[in-house]
Amino acid sequence: MTQSRRTDEDSTMTVTDRSFEDLTASMRAELLVHCYRMLGSATDAEDVLQEVYLRAWKAFHRFEGRSSVRTWMYKIATNTCLTALEGRSRRPLPTGLGTESSDPREPVVADEERLWLQPLPDAALGDPLTAAVVRETVGLAMVAALQDLPARQRAVLILRDVLAFSAAETATALDMSVAAANSALARARTTMGEGTPREERRAAELTERERAVWADFCTAFEQHDIEGVVSVLAADAVWEMPPFPGWYLGAREIGELTRVQCPAVAPGDIKMLQTTCNGMPAAGMYMRDGDVWRSFQLDVLSIVDGEVAHVGAFFDPKLFAMAGLPVEVR
């Protein structure tokens, strides 16, 4: 994993008359990302972050400045996430279920009982400059891989390899010995192994050609141009769309999926609004309903060598609000 720069000095500091809000408000974006890495859900991360700040505010009078406020907040956030994860199964993407690719001609049936991985809209991070720093190691594929780890191993790996906490800081945050923390880190690294996915290409890094591919993807759907959709996909592209457990392999199969399963039947039935999630190019898809177009799915794209190599389509309407997208457009 690539280490991200720590945004607050880790030297011991004494709390004087500065308020809790003064000391912690600037950490919200990075703590949201931390909760998201732990939980695999943007909506759950937002909810848990509220609990983190409530717990920290209640305990603030006991903070003695023996560590940095940032380290103290990460300890509270990590343990709040671990509590939230108790009794929960991991959040996969459909490709993580170990099944073969699906037939696009077969009816799709949602699995609403399973907890699915979600993307994290960049807009949820607030200030663009802050967002650019904290999303460095929050690629969708990486977050999906983290979900394969037991919760405490996941916490140790994130604290050590992403946030650059020392072994002693990690052990203190998790109320475990340094030896236990090092052992958990070794097991986590072994599990992640050589198969750890590389971080996806960021929207900010796209070439002019790749940005055109992103735009063409959106235009093809708006024009109900299935061949246009196929033309921007890699030959071995993957399409998955939780809560539907099937996944689809190959540009032609994805084209058939669009033809058979998509509610749109004519040009103008769909409108697309570009956005970014996990630092990656994305688009909100809206489906016509009379005189308005209502939020339908949020597509997150991985563009490789000038082609769309992967699409994750997510149907939770709360993600549109987190992305700063309207519920409907006219």
Domain ranges of the chain: 20-88+140-192, 203-329
- Third-level CATH fold of 203-329: Nuclear Transport Factor 2; Chain: A, (3.10.450)
Is residue 93 over pLDDT 70? yes
Give every CB contact of residue 106 below 8 A, 6+ residues apart in sequence.
246
What is 20-88+140-192's CATH superfamily? PhyR, sigma-like (SL) domain (1.20.140.160)
Model-level pTM greater than 0.85? yes
pLDDT tens figures, 6-41: 444 443 444 444 688 888 888 999 999 999 999 999
Q: Where are the beta strands (DSSP E) in the chain?
A: 233-241, 244-249, 270-277, 280-289, 292-304, 307-314, 328-329
What's the pLDDT score for residue 220?
98
pLDDT tens figures, 212-269: 999 999 999 999 999 999 999 999 999 999 999 999 999 999 999 999 999 999 999 9
What's the pLDDT score for residue 266?
97
* 17's tokens: 């008359």
Is residue 169 over pLDDT 90? yes
Answer yes or no: same fold for 20-88+140-192 and 203-329. no
Q: Does residue 192 or residue 250 have the better pLDDT?
A: 250
What's the pLDDT score for residue 140?
87
Residue 204 in contact with residue 150, Cβ under 8 Å? no
Is residue 95 over pLDDT 50? yes
